[in-house]
Amino acid sequence: MRQINKDTKLFISISRNPSNFGTIIYNQIFKIKKINAIYKSFKIKNVKNLKQTILFLNLQGVSVSMPFKAKIIKILDHTDKISKKLGIVNTIKNINGKLYGFNTDFFAIRKKLSDLKDIKQYNILIYGYGAIAKTTILALNSLGAKNIYINGRNKNKLNQLRISLGLKNYNEKEFINKKNFFLINCSPLGMMGVSKDKMPFKSNLIKKSSVVMDLINFPSNTKLIKTAKKNNKTIISGNSISLYQIKYQSEIYLNKKFNSNFLYDLFKKLKISFL
C-alpha cells in the first residue's frame, strides 16, 4: 500500500450517483507513474459549499459529473474557451487558490468522432438534451456535421436546445425514410440502475443505422450497445470516450503528456471492455 503523507495531493470527483470508474483508473495511474496522490469519488446533493471545500482542503482537481456541469460555472475564477462557449465544465483545477474550469468531454468526444471517415454524410439523431448532449453537438459542429436532430422526453427542453443551436426538427415518420443513420445516446437510459434494460432508440432505427454511439460507461455493455453489436453496426462505446477524457483531464491535472496506448493497456489490464 502506498504511503500517504503531508505532501500527498488529493483529487476528487463529484456526482449525484458516483461509480468507482474514475477512482480505479486514477489511483492506478498514480501508482504506476509513482505520483504521490490519491483520487476519491463523492456523492453530493449540491455545489453550494464546493469552492470553500476545494480551497480549505487544497484539493488539486475535481472531476464533475451530471447534474453539476453547468451549475459549477459560477464558482470558478477562469474557464477555457470551450467551457465558456458551452457553459459546461467537467474538470476543475486548483492553481494557487484560483479555480480553472475545462471541458475535456468535448475533446474526447471530438477525437472519437474524428475517427469516422466523413461526418457530413450522416443523419445524426441524438437522444438527450443535457450537458453531454450540448457538448456532443458542439463537437459535431466543429467537424462540419450538418444534419443533426434531437429527441427525448421533455419536449420543452428539446425545443429550447434545438432553437438555440439551430438543429433540425425531428419527425419519426420522416426520419425513418432517410439513410446513413448515426444514433447517439446522451441520456442516462441504459445506465446501471432502474434504466439498465431500457434503450433510447427503437429497434427498427438501430437496425437501419450505420453507427451507434453510447456515452454511458457503466455498464459499458448497455442494451443499446448489445443490440447494435448484434446487428453488426459500427460502435463507439462510452469507455472508448472515457479513455480520451481521462487522457486530456489527467494531462491538465498533472501537467504532463499521457500516451493513449498507456491508458489503453491500463484499461485492458483492469478488464475494462471497449467492445
pLDDT of residue 2: 67
Q: Across the strands, what pairs with 13?
A: 41, 63
pLDDT in tens, 94-113: 999 999 999 999 999 999 99
In a shared domain, residues 89 and 158: no
pLDDT of residue 153: 87
Coil, helix or strand for 177? coil
Higher pLDDT, 131 or 37: 37
Is residue 124 within 8 A of residue 144, CB to CB? The reply is no
Is residue 203's pLDDT more than 80? yes
Is residue 248 within 8 A of residue 260, CB to CB? The reply is no
Choose one of 50, 71, 102: the last residue of a domain. 102
In a shared domain, residues 50 and 154: no
Is residue 61 within 8 A of residue 37, CB to CB? The reply is no
In a shared domain, residues 88 and 143: no
Is residue 241's pLDDT more than 90? yes
- Mean per-residue pLDDT over the chain, rounded: 92
Check which CATH number belongs to the domain holding 86 and give it.
3.40.50.10860
31: nearest Cα among 65, 12, 8: 8
In a shared domain, residues 93 and 175: no
Which segment of 73-77, 154-158, 232-236, 252-256 scores lowest on mean pLDDT? 154-158
In a shared domain, residues 155 and 40: no
Mean pLDDT of 14-25: 89
Q: Domain total for the chain?
A: 2
Sort 156 into a burial class: Cβ within 10 Å, 0-12 / 13-18 / 19+.
Answer: exposed
Percentage, residues of the chain above pLDDT 70:
97
pLDDT in tens, 152-202: 888 898 889 888 888 888 888 889 999 999 999 999 888 876 577 889 999
pTM for this one? 0.91
Is residue 1's pLDDT more than 60? no
Write out the DSSP string of 66-107: TT-TTGGGGG-SEE-HHHHHHT--SEEEEETTEEEEE-HHHH
Coil, helix or strand for 186? coil
Range of the domain at 167: 107-239
In a shared domain, residues 80 and 164: no
Structural domain contains residue 273: no
pLDDT of residue 66: 81
Percentage, residues of the chain above pLDDT 90:
72
